[in-house]
Amino acid sequence: MQLYLKQRELIKRLEDGGFVFERHGGNHDIYKRGNDEEKIPRHREVNERLAKAILRKWGLL
């Protein structure tokens, strides 16, 4: 069974971790924190495994 996290919730957690919106890409939005860059898929819901991997990568989980 696929579980999903709302894109807004993922973005809120990234922003709470210091990331800021930089620009829109082709199918993703780009968020930056200093030299760190993360691409977030532009979907209403993001696969929970992907969302957790992104948050874990930046120590935000």
CATH of residue 34: 3.30.920.30
pLDDT at 3: 81
Q: What span, in angstroms and rounded, lies between the C-alpha atoms of 39 and 25?
A: 8
Alpha carbon distance 33, 19 (integer Å)? 5
The boundaries of the domain holding residue 44 are 4-57
pLDDT (tens digit per residue) in 12-58: 999 999 999 999 989 999 999 999 999 999 988 999 999 999 999 99
In which band, very low, low, confident or very high, does the pLDDT at 4 lie, cut at 50, 70 and 90?
A: confident
Give the count of beta carbons closer than 10 Å to the beta carbon of residue 34. 7
Query: H or E element: which one contains 50?
Result: helix 48-57
d(CA 32, CA 35): 7
Structural domain count of the chain: 1
